[in-house]
C-alpha cells in the first residue's frame, strides 16, 4: 500500500489529528500528512508528549493517531499505561517495527524482538499486517479501538507501506 492510500483510508475512518515522533519508515506518511490541509499533523519532541496531546484531542472529541518508532514505544509505556489505557481514551498508535526478525541495525534488535509482547503486556491490542493486508488490519484495529475505547496499535515493518 502506498502512503496516500493509507492516509486516505485514515481520513475516511475519521482521523483528523496526527501527532508523534518521526521515524524514517514513516517518512512518506508524515510528508503526506504535513501537506494535507484537511488534517492537523504535529511533530512532538517525545513520545510521552504525543500521547498527552492525543489524549487531549480524544477527550475533546477528536480522533487522534500517534506515530512513533518502536524504540519510542519503550519511552511511552508509562504515559500509555497511566493515562489512555486505564482511563479508556481511544487513539490509534502507528508504530514502526524496527528490528523485525533481526533485519535492521544492531541497536534495533532488542526492542524489535520485544515490541509485540510489550504492547500485549500493557493491554494494548496490536495488529502487525503483512504487505497487502494493511487496509484490512487498519480497519480491524480502528474497530477494536472504537469498541474498547482504548489505544490500539498498528505495527508496520519496513516495506509494508511505500
Domains of the chain by residue range:
3-156
Give 42-100 as a DSSP string: EE-SSHHHHHHHHHHHHHTT--EEEEEEHHHHHHHHHHHHHTTTTTT---EEEEE-TTG
Asked if residue 110 has pLDDT above 90, the reply is no
Asked if 95 and 138 count as a contact pair (C-beta separation under 8 A), the reply is no
CATH number of 3-156: 3.40.50.970
Question: What is the distance between the alpha carbons of residues 12 and 62, in angstroms, rounded to a whole number?
Answer: 14
**Whole-number Cα distances in Å, 14 to 52, 61, 77, 156:** 20, 11, 26, 20
Closest to 95 (Cα-Cα) out of 5, 29, 36, 2:
29
pTM beyond 0.85: yes
Res. 141: pLDDT tops 80: yes
Question: What average pLDDT does range 90-115 have in this prediction?
Answer: 88
Q: Pick from 16, 62, 20: which is nearest to 154 by CA? A: 20
pLDDT > 90? residue 103: no
Mean predicted confidence (pLDDT) in 32-52: 97
CA gap 116, 113 in Å, rounded: 8
Amino acid at each position: 500500500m502506498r502512503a496516500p492510500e493509507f492516509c486516505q483510508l485514515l481520513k475516511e475512518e475519521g482521523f483528523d489529528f496526527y501527532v508523534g515522533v518521526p521515524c524514517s519508515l514513516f517518512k512518506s506518511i508524515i510528508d503526506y500528512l504535513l501537506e494535507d490541509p484537511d488534517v492537523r499533523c504535529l511533530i512532538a519532541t517525545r513520545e510521552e508528549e504525543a500521547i498527552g496531546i492525543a489524549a487531549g484531542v480524544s477527550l475533546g472529541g477528536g480522533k487522534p493517531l500517534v506515530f512513533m518508532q518502536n524504540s519510542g514505544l519503550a519511552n511511552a509505556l508509562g504515559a500509555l499505561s497511566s493515562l489512555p489505557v486505564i482511563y479508556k481514551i481511544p487513539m490509534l498508535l502507528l508504530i514502526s517495527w524496527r528490528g523485525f526478525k533481526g533485519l535492521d541495525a544492531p541497536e534495533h534488535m532488542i526492542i524489535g524482538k520485544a515490541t509485540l509482547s510489550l504492547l500485549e503486556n500493557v493491554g494494548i491490542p496490536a495488529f502487525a499486517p503483512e504487505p497487502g493486508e494493511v487496509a484490512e488490519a487498519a480497519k480491524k484495529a480502528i474497530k477494536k479501538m472504537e469498541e474498547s475505547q482504548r489505544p490500539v496499535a498498528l505495527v508496520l515493518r519496513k516495506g509494508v507501506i511505500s
